[in-house]
Structure 1
Amino acid sequence: MDRRQFLTLSPARRKTVKASFGRTTTGISPYTGTFDTPQAVHLLKRALFGASPADLAWAKGMTMDQAVDALLTPQATAPQPPVNNYGNDATGIAPGATWVNSASYTDDDELDQNRRNSYKAWWLGVMLNQPRSIHEKMVLFWHNHFVTETQTVTDLRYVYKYNATLRQYALGNFKTMTEAITLDPAMLIYLNGYLNGKEAPDENYARELHELFTVGKGPDSHYTEEDVRATARVLTGYRVDSNTITSYFDSTQHDFTNKKLSAFYGEQQVTGRTGPNGRQELNDLLDIIFSQPEAARFIVRKIYRYFIYYKIDDAVEQNVIAPLADIFRNNNYEILPVLSTLFRSEHFYDPLNMSCLIKSPIDFCVGLCREFSVQFPPASDYSMAYDAWHYVQDTAARMLQNIGDPPLVAGWDAYYQEPQFHELWINTDTFPKRNMFSDMLVSGQGAMGLSIDVLAFADQLSDPSDPVALVKDSLDLLYRVDVSDNLRDFLKNNILLSGQNPNSDYYWTNAWLAYKGSPGDANLRGVVESRLRALYKYIMNLSEYQLS
């Protein structure tokens, strides 16, 4: 399926495709071409959730290298933790206070659900308020990689700590993050690590450590059941303390015998250790796993599919994946050098890669709100803010991306399920829901009073009084694929000019200038606002708006 024809297009629109389906032979050599609106919007929409006119102006005020450096700068401070927005709390947490360090409790389904809603709304709010940094998008990326599910972990204190762990290492060292996640209380609960003891080693996490988290299960990954069993024995003895919300090592439950791995790992051995030194076996195991080149290639492929395109052919494997994997390994699995090289590469800015991703539900919902600068209640009004954030989070969940609860330990299907991959985000149920969400916001009928201020959005463009420029600027920012002249003419003539003579551009110009001259005049405002709402509703309802 052509990436620009994932939905049924009319013959007239199908003619606008600039290149037939195919892959590129470009590699990771530095991009030396123009860094203008198409390239800046492409960079912004891959690194952030959506791109507003202000974001575009910011990026175009820099060189490509400067913009990449800025976007790859980690957030300076962690966001404030989620709070009690639900009222009665069995552990005594007052409304408006955070519950993440509260006392331990057992078997309180109502409290679990209240905190689950609080957590998910909070996280959505953090995404909405992201600075110009890739940090938030990487937190979501790693959540889909090192999956946990709130419905399984249940205690949301652990879930929040897991989010904080992802956030801490999102742009740091992958090997260190793997160790931290292995010992994270939420992960120990989710994959039964806290039950793993020398008398009955549990292989659940051990298997996923190889198959999903490090070397993968591709054609060049040949870990064995022997490796799974050895890994399970290495990981015996880790437990969770519900009072301190931490994990700890119980050496009395640790298997201190030697553990030998398969030929895939060079038949290396983890030497058994006794007492507190048994904790060191995890580091020894990770040293062995990360000495296998497939670990770097597997992670780079996942980064590629997340930020570039889901298809990896021989040319991409040779020209992009392999050299990026070398960079990953040569930098001791530091994440930033890989992203920095990728976002500066000729491959990243290849036209074939500039409109080929289908937005995930989170990217669609959060990105729409951010690029149109939808106003939410301030965080200080936590009750209203959490309700508004929950509305967007629940909307994305109904489109198949429920943050906090991916459907499986492998993550969301769209990131790994061949051959469709991200085309799975769009179907006869989810696409109308996308249109309904954008329709409600642009019409001013969103829940919690959320709406798109089309006047404020248009006012940020280069010359909103010129209908041709207005249409062009809007499409340049909101679409990642060219459209036909017929469509541009339709948007101008049939919507902005209300079907008048195509040479009557002055009609819109006069209407806009009249409104700007008397912004308090409801009639003048209504003339331009109604047409702008129709314009952006039409733009967001077309399939092109689903592409990133």
Structure 2
Amino acid sequence: MHDIDPGWAWSPVEESQQPWTRQLAAHLYRRAGFSATSETLDEAANKSAAEVVAELVDGRTESEEYLAQMKQLGRTVVATGNVENLPAWWMYRFLTTTDMLREKMTLFWHGHFATSGDKVTDPQLMVDQNELLRRNSLGNFGTLVAEISRNPAMLIYLDSVTNRKAHPNENFAREVMELFALGEGRYTEDDIRELSRCFTGWEIRNGRYRFNRYQHDSGRKSILGQEGPFDGDEGVAIVLDQPALPDFIIGKLYQFFIADEPAPPAELLAPLTIEFRENGLNIAPVLKRILSSQLFYSPHSVARKVRSPVEFSVGFLRALEGSTDQYALTSGLSELGQVPFFPPNVKGWDGGRTWINSSTLLARSNLIQSILKNKNTRFSNGTLSDLFDKHRLNSSQEIIDWLETMLLAVSLPETVRLQLQSKIDSGSGNREERLKEVVHLICGLPEYQLS
């Protein structure tokens, strides 16, 4: 990574010799969303990369009717009183939203500001936090941190509701510095203790944030080189003003959108960190630059990420115009290691290679198999045969070529391609079952695990 020129890396892809293709559009939608239908890729191929990225970043494409539907579904799930019903609700939104980048970033921030239903057992509080993340997902990072700091689900999860003047609780202050804004080694234990005093008196009443001035420590504090009688909002502002913050956040966005590893050098990220700070910590401009860059569409990025379980399953269904039982889908995700609303700890999901081991590989294969066998699964409201007929895919070669573009970030080995074509053409058994078997085999390949 040290030999990559930052000027080249973050310049627009249109300036390169690389033509904008349907395959590159598919790469964009896999990373900036959860894959796209064939029609969406056709439309994207007739535009420039910049135009498609602008639509993803700037467009609020969900209809008022859809938003009302999601609110009603949310109320229905909350009425059950069971947080374990929330993942299926969110999976439905992953599968149906037209505002893909916003939803992908909501998932990103959910891992960044990790809060779990295992501890926050009130589904309304978890839904409220989910909406907070979605509302701010492409907005201002400072606003996002300020709002998440007062969010009741976060206050409960990091024990800030027990933060009293006489006995400050350091959990939230530590995570604001270490996990939310600065990263390890960029603060001292004294900074944590002093920042925790700023948040004393922050509590919850009737499911809402409330400031209890009688439990607030109004004395002088010394935080990251600044001194004063800071309150919680002022403490957050001091953290947000630290020079290390842009490096930390841009590094996480790089890993999420470009490549799991290796970690990029500071020199490569410098143009983005400067832009992030100069834009007042606004998220959208830097995302637009990342998703339009030559680096994003280069071999340094394509197929350099392992699909998370949500990307693995939702991407499969969205690419093939699929729908299924969201509760069964969520149940399968637990075996793969990622259930939305239930991150494993305050650090969220580690991602990358940690998604893959002998157990999860088998579970991934089994999940696709269960989706294909589920009586509620539909592909373009029909069967796989109906889907292929809709796209006028007649020969086995046409089917495999199409599936390769829709599902894979890299080309199939020729021997594997021929074997898959032979299975379709074998004539043995029911054709629909042969097609399901071929799709299942593709999704079990190492190539499908990569994004």
Q: TM-score, normalised by structure 2?
A: 0.91
How far 1:83 moved relative to its partner?
A: 6.3
- 1:334 alignment partner, one of 279, 282, 285: 282
Residues 436-481 of structure 1, C-alpha deviations (whole Å, 9 max, x = no match): 1212333xx22x52255212332354x5124333322221221111
Alignment of 1:466-481 (within 5 A): 466-481=395-410
Question: Where in structure 1 are there 5+ consecutive unaligned residues?
Answer: 1-20, 85-95, 103-110, 273-280, 377-387, 415-421, 501-525
1:69 aligned to 2:31? no
Distance 1:499 1:485, change over 3 A: farther
Distance 1:48 1:260, change over 3 A: same
Q: Aligned to 1:370, what secondary structure does the other structure show?
A: helix
How far 1:287 moved relative to its partner?
A: 2.5
Q: Which amino acid aligns with 1:318?
A: E
- 1:284 alignment partner, one of 230, 234, 239: 234
| Corresponding residue of 2:353 | 423
> What value does the CA root-mean-square deviation take over the aligned residues?
2.4
Distance 1:163 1:470, change over 3 A: same
- 1:318 alignment partner, one of 232, 254, 267: 267
Contact 2:181 2:245 in 1 (8 A): yes
1:268 aligned to 2:216? no
| Corresponding residue of 1:201 | 168
How far 1:22 moved relative to its partner?
A: 10
Contact 1:74 1:133 in 2 (8 A): no
Runs of 4+ in structure 1 off by over 3 angstroms are 21-26, 74-84, 96-100
| Corresponding residue of 1:487 | 416
Q: Which amino acid aligns with 1:336?
A: A
Residues 52-99 of structure 1, C-alpha deviations (whole Å, 9 max, x = no match): 212212322321111101111345564645668xxxxxxxxxxx9646
- 1:161 alignment partner, one of 95, 107, 128: 128
Alignment of 1:503-518 (within 5 A): none
How far 1:150 moved relative to its partner?
A: 0.8
1:400 aligned to 2:303? no
1:301 aligned to 2:231? no
Q: Which is richer in helix?
A: 2
How far 1:227 moved relative to its partner?
A: 0.8
| Corresponding residue of 1:106 | none
How far 1:120 moved relative to its partner?
A: 1.9
Residues 382-426 of structure 1, C-alpha deviations (whole Å, 9 max, x = no match): xxxxxx211111211221102111111011132xxxxxxx11111
- 1:412 alignment partner, one of 349, 357, 368: 349
Distance between the aligned counterparts of 2:69 and 2:85, measured in 1? 13
Distance between the aligned counterparts of 1:99 and 1:498, measured in 2? 46
| Corresponding residue of 1:522 | none
1:356 aligned to 2:304? yes
| Corresponding residue of 1:277 | none
1:117 aligned to 2:75? no
Residues 95-136 of structure 1, C-alpha deviations (whole Å, 9 max, x = no match): x96465x7xxxxxxxx65xx2132222111111111143011
1:533 aligned to 2:436? yes
Contact 1:82 1:99 in 2 (8 A): no
Q: Which amino acid aligns with 2:389?
A: D
Residues 502-524 of structure 1, C-alpha deviations (whole Å, 9 max, x = no match): xxxxxxxxxxxxxxxxxxxxxxx
Q: Aligned to 2:306, what secondary structure does the other structure show?
A: coil
Distance 1:318 1:54, change over 3 A: same
1:455 aligned to 2:385? yes
Contact 1:83 1:118 in 2 (8 A): no
Q: Which amino acid aligns with 2:261?
A: K
- 1:240 alignment partner, one of 199, 204, 211: 204
Residues 271-295 of structure 1, C-alpha deviations (whole Å, 9 max, x = no match): 34xxxxxxxx333223321221211
Distance between the aligned counterparts of 2:177 and 2:275, measured in 1? 21
How far 1:205 moved relative to its partner?
A: 0.3
Q: Aligned to 1:353, what secondary structure does the other structure show?
A: coil
How far 1:173 moved relative to its partner?
A: 0.6
How far 1:537 moved relative to its partner?
A: 2.4
| Corresponding residue of 2:366 | 436
| Corresponding residue of 2:25 | 40
| Corresponding residue of 1:508 | none
Distance between the aligned counterparts of 2:115 and 2:317, measured in 1? 27
- 1:179 alignment partner, one of 136, 140, 146: 146
- 2:394 alignment partner, one of 462, 465, 468: 465
Distance 1:451 1:427, change over 3 A: farther
Distance between the aligned counterparts of 1:28 and 1:178, measured in 2? 27
Distance between the aligned counterparts of 2:262 and 2:226, measured in 1? 31
Distance 1:354 1:343, change over 3 A: same
Q: Aligned to 1:449, what secondary structure does the other structure show?
A: coil
Q: Aligned to 1:401, what secondary structure does the other structure show?
A: coil
Q: Which amino acid aligns with 2:221?
A: K
Distance between the aligned counterparts of 1:270 and 1:343, measured in 2? 41
Bigger shift: 466-475 or 231-240? 466-475
Distance 1:75 1:173, change over 3 A: farther
Contact 2:388 2:394 in 1 (8 A): no
Contact 1:153 1:190 in 2 (8 A): yes
How far 1:153 moved relative to its partner?
A: 1.4
1:257 aligned to 2:219? yes
Distance between the aligned counterparts of 2:360 and 2:141, measured in 1? 34
How many residue pairs align between the two structures? Answer: 439
Distance between the aligned counterparts of 1:451 and 1:252, measured in 2? 58
Q: Which amino acid aligns with 1:309?
A: A
Q: Which amino acid aligns with 1:236?
A: T
Distance between the aligned counterparts of 2:354 and 2:425, measured in 1? 38
Overall identity of the aligned pairs, in %: 31
Q: TM-score, normalised by structure 1?
A: 0.75
Distance between the aligned counterparts of 2:443 and 2:100, measured in 1? 25
Q: Which amino acid aligns with 1:35?
A: W
How far 1:39 moved relative to its partner?
A: 0.8
How far 1:527 moved relative to its partner?
A: 5.8
Residues 230-259 of structure 1, C-alpha deviations (whole Å, 9 max, x = no match): 1111111111112xx210111111111111
Distance between the aligned counterparts of 2:295 and 2:164, measured in 1? 48
| Corresponding residue of 1:546 | 449
Contact 1:49 1:366 in 2 (8 A): yes
Distance 1:439 1:542, change over 3 A: same
How far 1:23 moved relative to its partner?
A: 8.0
1:135 aligned to 2:84? no
Question: Where in structure 2 are there 5+ consecutive unaligned residues?
Answer: none
The structure number with the bigger radius of gyration is: 1
